[in-house]
Amino acid sequence: MSAMQDLLAHAAQTAALEQVAGRLHWDQETMMPKGAATQRAEEIAAMEGVLHARRTDPALGELLETAQAETDFEVSSLRLISRSYQRATKIPARLAAELARTASLAHGVWAKARAEDDVAGFLPVLEQLITLRREEAACLSGETRGAALYDALLNDYEPEMRAREIAALFDAMRPRLVSLRAAILEKPMPAAISGDFDETAQLALTREIALAFGYDLDKGRIDLAVHPFSSGSGSDSRITTRVARDDPFNALYSTIHEVGHACYEQNIDPLYHLTALGQGASMGVHESQSRIYENQLGRSLPFVTWLYGQMQTAFGGLSTDSPAALYAAINRVAKGYIRTEADEVQYNLHIMLRFDLEQALISGDLAVGDLEAAWNDRFMADFGFAVARPSHGVLQDVHWSAGLFGYFPTYALGNVYAGCLMQALRADVPNLDAALAQGNPRPATDWLRERLQRHGSLKPPRQTIEDAIGGPVSPEPLLRYLEEKFGALYGL
């Protein structure tokens, strides 16, 4: 018997007794001898006593609470299964299979084109993917043109979000990010870390830090791959990483990032495991977890201070002589072409470029043949220097080769959400920095698990964040965090 069944049985008995009480009133008005009025008042008061006791039964309070949780689960399951059903029934099976096949094949085509800086080699399959995804978007939206097409694709990654909301968010962020970057780039650039870092030592340190952030290797694994990613959910939540001998932060921070994703999946309520609720609420919410692990926590001064000691031990010394210098190196803002290597200040500008270009590709305003030129022009306008090779430009990301149009903006959304979460986390966990300075992010990850991760897809994405932070989403906390952090770092 579920709590709901118990509750309904309790309510049915109460309803029956209420009918009994009601019949006393009917009788009083139709059949009752006049002299029975005082006795009837006592009878009615006695029935009211029985009913009141039933209605206030403490067992009822507990049943209500449990049944509410059961029902929340069922309501969310219905919402998600229904959405998936509505979506799937709009897509012909042929199109679904062709998209899966083409995206799988396109991966190799793109990898080869990128390795050879051969844009022309990639364009035919890109054209195919855009055609297929436009067709899919038309099936989903019932429209053949206009903003509805891109929104339909965006909704696969960020349900209930529209491109124009994201555009408004980006418009609000861009001026402050551009002006922060300009102020930083006028200052002397901190030294980068250089050296030769033993790969085994890197992997050992990475693994130790993954565990410190709460990653459960009994329900996951870390493998090497060309591009770090996370995969699976629940008790099989895996991540990959990569190691570069000359850059220990590549393995380290990509791992912390993927650990954020994987911990989100591992920390979802086990009751939701292998149900429609058993995954992150959206890509934006997912990215908020990877970002806050990687940036707000992992690139914070107290954590880097702890890391400085660890790295000295692991690698037998460092080319920099203080935690502060390591912190400056790790948070170095430099000119660069590559999104995945971008610092926190410039990262969202890379996203804005992709967001605008992919909307134009899907709407048809931008032909595939003009994409490279459009990328290069826009990059020059946004970053102030020219793209020298397509592998540093239009070919750098895997996403479009996988047919992922509408995915990029969820990265920036994740940053915004991470900013909101960090502000709420700091308010709730005042001793956070002291723990981070001991290499212990658990007060933060426990807070995130409790406030957000355990709910999986129980609530829609926006509500997932708003319930966690106790207020509305705004880009303000992220912007203030960036201005304060980099303002202090660069003496602005």
> Per CB under 8 A, does 16 bind a copy of itself?
yes
Q: Are 248 and 315 spatial neighbours (Cβ–Cβ below 8 Å)?
A: yes
Task: Please select the residue that binds a copy of itself; options are 1, 33, 93, 381, rule is CB under 8 A.
Answer: 93
Interface stretch with a copy of itself, choices 91-99, 174-182, 425-433, 464-472 (CB under 8 A): 91-99
Identity of residue 228: P
CA–CA distance, 419 with 295 (Å, rounded to integer): 10
Q: Are 91 and 136 spatial neighbours (Cβ–Cβ below 8 Å)?
A: yes
> Per CB under 8 A, does 104 bind a copy of itself?
yes
DSSP 421: H
By CB under 8 A, how many residues form the interface with a copy of itself?
79
Three-state SS across 204-248?
HHHHHHHHHCCCCHHHCCEEECCCCCEEEECCEEEEEECCECCEH
Q: Is the dihedral of CA 323, 324, 327, 328 positive or negative?
A: negative
Task: Please select the residue that binds a copy of itself; options are 19, 33, 142, 431, rule is CB under 8 A.
Answer: 19
With respect to a copy of itself, which residue has the nearer C-beta, 187 or 227? Answer: 227
Q: Which residues have a Cβ under 8 Å from the Cβ of 133 and sit 6 or more positions away?
A: 99, 153, 362, 403, 405
Work out the number of other CB atoms within 10 angstroms of the CB of residue 385: 10
Residue among 373, 362, 344 at smallest CA distance from 406: 362
With respect to a copy of itself, which residue has the nearer C-beta, 48 or 116? Answer: 48
Q: Which residues have a Cβ under 8 Å from the Cβ of 341 and sit 6 or more positions away?
A: none
> Per CB under 8 A, does 242 bind a copy of itself?
no
> Per CB under 8 A, does 22 bind a copy of itself?
yes
> Per CB under 8 A, does 49 bind a copy of itself?
yes
Task: Please select the residue that binds a copy of itself; options are 1, 6, 11, 165, rule is CB under 8 A.
Answer: 11
With respect to a copy of itself, which residue has the nearer C-beta, 262 or 448? Answer: 262
Residue among 73, 17, 481 at smallest CA distance from 291: 481
Smallest separation (angstroms) from a copy of itself to the CB of 199: 17
Tell me the two tokens of residue 94: 């042929």
Task: Please select the residue that binds a copy of itself; options are 61, 188, 316, 430, rule is CB under 8 A.
Answer: 61
Footprint (CB under 8 A) of a copy of itself, residues 264-323: 274-276, 278
Rg (C-alpha) for the chain, rounded Å, is 28
Smallest separation (angstroms) from a copy of itself to the CB of 30: 5
Interface stretch with a copy of itself, choices 74-82, 207-215, 243-251, 361-369 (CB under 8 A): 74-82
Identity of residue 317: G
Reading phi first (left if > 0) and then psi (alpha if -120 to 50, else beta), residue 14 is in alpha
With respect to a copy of itself, which residue has the nearer C-beta, 5 or 319? Answer: 5
Residue among 215, 191, 176 at smallest CA distance from 483: 176
Q: Which one of the listed residues 136, 158, 258, 265 is annotated catalytic? A: 258
> Per CB under 8 A, does 59 bind a copy of itself?
no
Task: Please select the residue that binds a copy of itself; options are 40, 176, 399, 426, rule is CB under 8 A.
Answer: 40
With respect to a copy of itself, which residue has the nearer C-beta, 45 or 381? Answer: 45
> Per CB under 8 A, does 30 bind a copy of itself?
yes
Reading phi first (left if > 0) and then psi (alpha if -120 to 50, else beta), residue 24 is in alpha
Tokens 């906390």, residue located: 477
**Does the annotation mark 372 as catalytic?**
no
With respect to a copy of itself, which residue has the nearer C-beta, 31 or 381? Answer: 31
> Per CB under 8 A, does 116 bind a copy of itself?
no
With respect to a copy of itself, which residue has the nearer C-beta, 232 or 439? Answer: 232
Smallest separation (angstroms) from a copy of itself to the CB of 348: 26
Smallest separation (angstroms) from a copy of itself to the CB of 200: 19
How is the beta sheet containing 236-241 ordered, strand by strand?
A: 222-224, 236-241, 230-233
Footprint (CB under 8 A) of a copy of itself, residues 142-181: none
> Per CB under 8 A, does 196 bind a copy of itself?
no
Task: Please select the residue that binds a copy of itself; options are 1, 6, 33, 68, rule is CB under 8 A.
Answer: 68
With respect to a copy of itself, which residue has the nearer C-beta, 161 or 276? Answer: 276
Footprint (CB under 8 A) of a copy of itself, residues 201-240: 223-227, 229, 231-233, 236, 238, 240
**Which pairing describes strands 230-233 and 222-224: parallel, antiparallel, or unpaired?**
unpaired
Interface stretch with a copy of itself, choices 12-20, 126-134, 146-154, 306-314 (CB under 8 A): 12-20
- Residues with active-site annotation: 258
